[in-house]
A and B are shown apart, each in its own frame.
Chain A
């Protein structure tokens, strides 16, 4: 350092080797930091994409449903004075039976009817009453039938036969004769693979000559069994490539769908009776025990009603409190105490607010259980600290010179706040509010406490009607055993995410709009 006092050394202080080295080290540090930053972002974006991707994949099947367009005999309700009294159960049952005249006997017929949703008659009745002159009515399939058609249930593998085959028929039963060795081995492998009783081992369905033969025994290398569907072609021989071996590795007893039902469904699809369509039920109905009849609309309306109450309470209260504390309250121990406690409130787990709602709003004041307005109050209590803090920060960011300018032209403190300070702070307050509302929209725990978890079929029509909300609906569906509810749960999550994204987008938009208006 002694030579640093020398004038010559000052001239080279930033260019000598030591300085160069120091500079290089600084650049290395920066590159390292950038790399870690990019890696962190890459990792989090990757996880987010993974999460979103899995939700979307799981949700997509729920957005469509398979409907059956049958020929319904609607003469009875047409002639009846009150179409509501007609026996739609019978109309639907008969329409389906007409398609399968060969199906006889109570058990089989019940099996056939189970292809359609148990709510199909109600669904038909509603369509008919909406437009009695209409035609082309459709009814929804049951959830299991629908999942099978989407390839999500009872998966099978198919082996196209390499050799010819001859079939024989005697009554219900049939057999395959002169099957070549490779095909026989394929059947044998599947048949003896697991062993056990019929229904406990994989199902082997031979699709031959337009019929389906279910293999039940393998005597003397002749596979034989019951015709689930009679062959429609005449003769008794099939060429190589003309018949197929379809193997369901999951035994029939462990499936929600029997081999017969699968054969029937394939028929209905093949002749164009059953087609997938947009699942309007999902978007327009309330809760239901039948997955195919369950929708999110009831929960969406419940959420909207609750959020309206939340916003109407939390926004004016929160902004008012923030204005009072920031602009009017004399700073001191008392106001600091209040401020610290508001910050503490923001960190209180949301379920505590639910407990408060239960203990005070329901038990002391006796407000309605499961009602959106009670949920709204609870969510408002939960959101209030968030809004107060956001508003205080926003007010604090308004330069004092603006307040002084207003006061100096003779504006009262209230005019100063409402004419100059608040408009300037509004974009940030709105952003904070919308984010608080988005949090309220995604909240489940406090609403469970006040009974918004109830099973509510009807769409709520007002603030006091029992209702549930979207996240609670997701929570409930995720808990149901039916696989179809799992897909609906994912779909509801997607809908919730869309709402949240829309709200955050609105926050950005509000911000941009205000900022443009100001400059």
Chain B
């Protein structure tokens, strides 16, 4: 996944011939994280977002390091989801939403008018806060992305890909005998895992996850946390969470938001053990909501 090799963003993700036999995105890290940590995968510079007359984000600047998990934490309504939606330009679909500032991916402004937003979203996957499976079968939910991106050559490869991905999110054993069942007929937690499966099936470079474990039991949460730990070897992950323990467990970097402002960001250990800002300290120790 050497992006720098492409002068422009490629029209489709580079085809990986042996995808199914040994899915490369799940293989050992291609590069050692420390090797590339110097150059951020995404940068957010002075971003302001407003919905009509209400401003949701004020002058946010943030670097997202490659092959790391960045946690966004903060009280409800502070703009975490809003920032996440800026990163794959999902905010474009909200008519009254205005974004200003600069967001780059691999040094390229994703809000530049030359950028193909469809391609951007293929490269920046997203798991939504509320599970939103397609009203189609479980199989189709996972297979849809790979199919429109031409990632498999035949049905057999697609079947294998679907199975692999469903196994990764710990859903396969629960649903392997009813892949024809509508995704919407699953339980809330299963739907959430299905949405994660759908997002990773298209092999994005960056995965945005908005409270991916909010509806999961401890076992499923552990599976997903484990998965995120593995995924970061190939993907870059930005995750919103309300669980301090989860942020501490799996993220390398943490950003704390309050009332639309980025209060503090830094390595997770630092944020949780030695925060610079007293508000951060109050929040991570559970003294304010």
* Chain A residues proximal to chain B, CB less than 8 Å: 331, 399-413, 415, 419-420, 424, 518-519
A410 CA / B199 CA spacing, docked (Å): 10
Please give, as numbers and ranges, the residues of chain A lying within 8 Å of B123 by CB-CB distance.
410
B158 to chain A, nearest CB (A): 15
Known contacts A401-B132, A404-B128, A419-B144; is-contact A409 B198 (Cβ 8 Å): yes
A24 CA / B242 CA spacing, docked (Å): 48
Contact of B172 with A by CB under 8 A = no
* Chain B residues proximal to chain A, CB less than 8 Å: 88, 90, 93, 95, 118-119, 121-123, 125-126, 128, 130, 132-135, 144-145, 148-149, 182, 184-185, 195, 198-199, 202
Please give, as numbers and ranges, the residues of chain A lying within 8 Å of B125 by CB-CB distance.
408-409
**Partner among A405, A415, A424 whose Cβ is within 8 Å of the Cβ of B195:** A405
A326 to chain B, nearest CB (A): 13
Q: Closest residue of chain B to A405, judged by CB?
A: B132
Q: Describe A's contact surface by its main secondary structure.
A: helix
Q: Closest residue of chain A to B146, judged by CB?
A: A409
Q: Closest residue of chain B to A331, judged by CB?
A: B95
Contact A406 B134 (CB under 8 A): yes
Contact B148 A415 (CB under 8 A): yes
Other than the known A401-B130, A409-B121, A518-B135, what 15 A-B pairs have Cβ atoms closer than 8 Å? Answer: A399-B132, A403-B93, A404-B90, A404-B93, A405-B132, A405-B134, A407-B93, A407-B118, A409-B148, A409-B202, A410-B119, A410-B122, A410-B148, A411-B144, A518-B182
B12 to chain A, nearest CB (A): 9
Residue contacts A-B, CB under 8 angstroms, 26 given: A399-B132, A401-B130, A402-B132, A404-B128, A404-B132, A405-B132, A405-B134, A405-B195, A406-B134, A407-B118, A408-B121, A408-B125, A408-B126, A408-B128, A408-B199, A409-B121, A409-B125, A409-B144, A409-B145, A410-B119, A410-B122, A411-B118, A412-B118, A419-B144, A519-B182, A519-B184
A408 CA / B198 CA spacing, docked (Å): 10
B95 to chain A, nearest CB (A): 6
A412 CA / B119 CA spacing, docked (Å): 9
A401 CA / B127 CA spacing, docked (Å): 11
A56 CA / B53 CA spacing, docked (Å): 64
A406 CA / B122 CA spacing, docked (Å): 10
Please give, as numbers and ranges, the residues of chain B lying within 8 Å of A405 by CB-CB distance.
128, 132-134, 195, 198
Contact A408 B134 (CB under 8 A): no
Known contacts A404-B128, A419-B144; is-contact A410 B121 (Cβ 8 Å): yes
- What 10 A-B pairs have minimum CB-CB distances, sorted nearest first? A410-B122, A401-B132, A409-B145, A408-B126, A405-B132, A412-B118, A410-B121, A409-B202, A519-B182, A518-B135
Please give, as numbers and ranges, the residues of chain A lying within 8 Å of B93 by CB-CB distance.
400, 403-404, 407
A230 CA / B119 CA spacing, docked (Å): 101
A284 CA / B214 CA spacing, docked (Å): 68
Please give, as numbers and ranges, the residues of chain B lying within 8 Å of A519 by CB-CB distance.
182, 184-185
Please give, as numbers and ranges, the residues of chain B lying within 8 Å of A424 by CB-CB distance.
135
Contact A408 B118 (CB under 8 A): no
Contact B202 A410 (CB under 8 A): yes
Please give, as numbers and ranges, the residues of chain A lying within 8 Å of B118 by CB-CB distance.
407, 410-413
A75 to chain B, nearest CB (A): 72
Q: Most chain-B CB neighbours within 10 Å: which of A401, A407, A410?
A: A410
A421 to chain B, nearest CB (A): 10
A399 CA / B184 CA spacing, docked (Å): 13
Q: Closest residue of chain B to A519, judged by CB?
A: B182
Please give, as numbers and ranges, the residues of chain B lying within 8 Å of A411 by CB-CB distance.
118, 144-145, 148
Q: Closest residue of chain A to B118, judged by CB?
A: A412
Q: Closest residue of chain A to B130, judged by CB?
A: A401
B187 to chain A, nearest CB (A): 15
**Partner among B119, B122, B184 whose Cβ is within 8 Å of the Cβ of A409:** B122
A519 CA / B198 CA spacing, docked (Å): 19
